[in-house]
Amino acid sequence: MRIPDRVFTRPLLVRGLLIWGASRACLAVVVWLMSGLEDPLTFAVTAKAAIWIAVVAGVLGWLELRRRHEHLLLANLGVRERTLGLLAAAPGLLGEFVVAVVGAGDAARG
């Protein structure tokens, strides 16, 4: 698996982080509207749902790469699409892990 240079990787990861944040915010709004929670940021998701959120964010990031035709440029540099999909999903997976750790710490304290 060949990871692209920093010049290409950094924007991919930042875009993946933005896509994950937007998908997480959309989920929070939907949960808030459907359940009537007072604070939409206090809802908790299961581990399975967190993985699905990260996978959906990764797929959206991969589709964004294809929409911009960046996959062609990176393919010419020797980077496979599977690697691009993993790079698109990495910020979401890391973000869900951080949310789970922070949520577990908050639950333990109070």
This prediction has a pTM of 0.81
* pLDDT tens digits along 79-109: 898 998 899 999 999 998 988 888 776 666 6
| Domain range list for the chain | 6-103
* pLDDT tens digits along 38-58: 665 556 677 888 888 888 998
In the three-class reduction of DSSP (H, G, I as helix; E, B as strand; rest coil), residue 47 is classed as helix
Please tell me the distance from the alpha carbon of residue 13 to that of residue 16, in angstroms, as a whole number: 5
Q: Looking at the chain, how many residues does it have?
A: 110
- Concatenate the DSSP letters of all residues of 13-43 into one string: HHHHHHHHHHHHHHHHHHHHHHH--S-GGG-
